[in-house]
Amino acid sequence: MSLRAALRHTVVMVVAGLVVSTPPPRPPVATPRPDLLALTQDYWHWKTQDYPQFATQVGINDNTAGRLDSYALTHFQRRKAKCEEFLQRAYDVDAALLSPEDLIDLKVLKEEMITYIDNFPYKKYFAPVTFMAGPQNDFKRMVQKQMVLVSYNDYQKLLSRYGEFPRQAQEILVLMKTNIENDLMPSNWSMVGVVEQLDNVGGRVEDSVFYKPFIHMPSTITAEQRFTLRQQAQERIKQDLLPSFKKIRDFLVTQYLPATRSEVGVSSLPGGEDYYRACLKFHTSTNLTPQEIHSLGLTEVARVEAAVQKTAAEIGMAGKTFSEIGQALKDDPAQNFTSKKDLLEYVRNTIYNVIFPRVQEMFPSLPPTNLTVVGDDNPQAIFAKYAGPSMDGSRLGSFILSTYSYELRKKYEVMAVSLHEALPGHHLYTTYRTRNPSTPNFRKYIDFTFTTNAPARFPLHTVLSEGWALYSEFLGDELGLYKDPYQKMGRHSFELLRASRLVVDTGMHALGWSRDKAVTFLLDHTALSIGSIQGEINRYITWPGQACAYKVGEIKIKELRQKAQNALGSLFRLSDFHDEMLGCIGPLKIVEECITNYIEQTNLVIEKGAEEKREDEKTERSDKKGSESREHKDGNGVGGKAGVLSASGGSGCALCPGASVVVVAMCWLARLPGVSAHPI
């Protein structure tokens, strides 16, 4: 239950408690929920034990930190059996006895199991090595960014993982061989740059990224231990890691790459149409068909292009196409950054001094966790992404910007990107998710390892996280944060990209579009450079359906907001709606239930409040002993608040700061997942 929900709950209880004169039939009292609690805890325990790399991602440093995930086909089968067991247990929980919040937890858990079980057959489409996934990325990131390396024992766990790598590499090779046999190969475009990535982890032992943690070790480790650890590391890297990476590389070059598909769409695969629909369902959590998403994309592109024309008129460019306008913006030297430092300072100023104060007004119960803005000098770094903080809060959430190509970044892009990646986008979403101690861990922490194996995996809730981030770009409009026509163009540019993605993703995967046709569409309708477009398109080819989640989610969030606004009228408060949205993690249909509960409970509070008021007035009129009724009224402290809520709510003042009934700014340390990269 969110803090606000908890408060509301109290309001209902207090008000209800005052109407005792005619005791209503009492609803079933929320019982302790031992079976549900045991189920969610067992599921969490199993998941972190069975996916040790996920455990490391969220910052758990127990026995799991010495092990690696299994990619064995037989193991996938065991996982499915386990999910069936959990699902059965979920069905056995008596839903009628649960509070609305517990019921939502139960439903989300069922959905997770059903997602895994129903999509299990699609595991045959797993491509464990592409330019977006594979040990050359994941294993490396885990070592560099996620492992806790403080004690001698921690280092032993790392070495134990190195020792396990040949086993995992062998399982990956089997999966790849199976792909060739089953004729379920990824597109050749999904393999661009993979050999280079693999070459980069090879080379001399001492230069290897896997030896880096052993060069500078914390002072808790004695000189003698350092000596031993370094020797062991050299052995493991030389005997286990590098030869295994080389095996994967050689297999790729000699057998896998020559067997890749030259088509781009997954519809060219046997069973590919169903597979694509399952991907769309996984990422959007809707049953929208490819054609429906495609049409939605075209409509959105046209709508945003009309907005572009309005903004263009402000800078004397009416009638130009978006790519012409984009070119003019890119050529404007005033929009350039002069150095990496200039770029980072500009972004930090935007986030800390321009966005933060406004977001704080809009989100009165904003969790007080800061984030860092860091530059990434790696030539392959993507333009911008967000990585969540570690579970104990020792590592802050970070907005990571590619500084390598700072000359290509433009000032007009910064506002939209910052709203998306930082505040109120991914950082706020991630922070809110974990703010409530009664939210079970399985809902708080999402497994971001090997994300491209969708849909045969546990949910990523892409539609919610990316929908929220895109909705955050829209909130920038409402907050008046796009200060000049250039920043507005930056906003349009990113929105056009997300709308265009619906068109090209479905185009390539379901409607027979060629890669060139998709490239041309992005060239015509976005301001991206050809280089960025090539990278974007390869990503859509490799991760079918993911890119459709942003727009679908944003549209749904706006729709739910409208629904709440219509249902609550002057009682609608934007900050309440946001609290509710951010507190409810799950598929869209469950988020919709949360919003429905919120509408019903708000109405209930108000009705009870009004009823109570009428009762009071009646009493006051008929009762000569006025003091008694006043006592009665005073006792209705919280109910009185409900009156305040109704009086100050909405009234066209959706953005009014500080008007929420929730005045609780709880001090807590975010306990958040580890690096969870959200691409823009």
Ligand X SMILES: *[C@@H]1O[C@H](CO)[C@@H](O)[C@H](O)[C@H]1NC(C)=O
What CA–CA distance (Å, rounded) separates 493 from 487? 10
Q: Which two tokens stand for residue 512?
A: 């027979």
Q: How far is the CB of 379 from ligand X (least distance, A)?
A: 17
Tokens at 20, concatenated: 């005792």
Cβ at position 331, least distance to ligand X in Å: 7
Q: How far is CA 487 from the centre of its chain?
A: 25
Q: Given the structure tokens 């569409």, which residue do they identify?
A: 521
| Residue number, 119 or 350, with CB nearest to ligand X | 350
Q: Which is nearer to ligand X, 189 or 468 (CB)?
A: 189
Q: How far is the CB of 421 from ligand X (least distance, A)?
A: 15
Closer to ligand X by Cβ: residue 278 or 373: 373
C-beta of 72 vs 382, nearer to ligand X:
382
SS3 content of the chain, % helix, strand, coil (to 5): 65, 5, 30
Work out the number of other CB atoms within 10 angstroms of the CB of residue 240: 20
By the 8 A CB rule, do 154 and 61 touch? yes
| Residue 208 CB, nearest approach to ligand X (Å) | 28
Tokens of residue 604, six digits: 């209930």
List the strands of the sheet with 397-402, edge to edge.
Answer: 371-376, 397-402, 384-387, 678-679
Neighbours of 365 (CB within 10 A): 22
Pick the closer one to ligand X by CB: 153 or 262: 262
Whether the bond into 424 is cis, omega within 30 of 0 = yes
The smaller minimum CB distance to ligand X, of residues 538 and 629, is found at 538
The CA distance from 634 to 640, in Å, is: 8
Largest separation between any pair of C-alpha atoms in the chain: 97
Closest approach of ligand X to the CB of residue 526, in Å:
16
Shortest reach from residue 490's CB to ligand X, in Å:
14
Q: Which of 174, 143, 133 is nearest to 237 (CA)?
A: 143
Q: Which two tokens stand for residue 262?
A: 């030259």
Give residue 648's Cα distance to chain centre.
33
Q: Hey, what amino acid is at 26?
A: R
Shortest Å distance, C-beta 132 to ligand X = 14
Q: Give the nearest distance from C-beta 400 to ligand X in angstroms.
A: 15
Dihedral sign (CA 362, 366, 372, 375): negative
CB of 356 vs ligand X, minimal distance in Å: 6
d(CA 170, CA 71) in angstroms, rounded, equals 9
> Given the complex with ligand X, which of 381 and 408 has the nearer CB atom?
408
Least spacing, CB of residue 519 vs ligand X, in Å:
12
Closest CA to 385 of 425, 349, 335, 343: 425
- Of the two residues 189 and 550, which places its CB atom closer to ligand X in the complex? 189
Query: CA-to-CA distance for 585 and 595, rounded, in angstroms?
Result: 12
Considering the complex, state which of residue 131 and residue 445 has its C-beta at the smaller distance from ligand X. Answer: 131
Provide the 10 A C-beta neighbour count for residue 62: 11
Q: Which residues lie near ligand X (CB under 6 A)?
A: 188-189, 192, 262, 330, 333, 336, 352, 356, 370, 407-408
Whose Cβ is closer to ligand X: residue 370's or residue 562's? 370
Q: Closer CB to ligand X, residue 183 or residue 407?
A: 407
- Please say which residue, 178 or 370, places its beta carbon nearer to ligand X: 370
For 16, 358, 369, 583, 670, the CA distances from 662, given in Å and listed in that order, are 20, 18, 18, 14, 19
DSSP 534-589: HHHHHHHHHSTTGGGHHHHHHHHHHHHHHHHHHHHGGG--HHHHHHHHHH--S-HH
CB of 370 to ligand X, least distance (A): 4
Give the three-class secondary structure for 147: coil
Backbone phi and psi for residue 261, each to the nearest 5 degrees, phi listed first: -75, 150
Least distance in angstroms from the C-beta of 528 to ligand X: 12
Q: Which of 556, 581, 570 is nearest to 288 (CA)?
A: 556
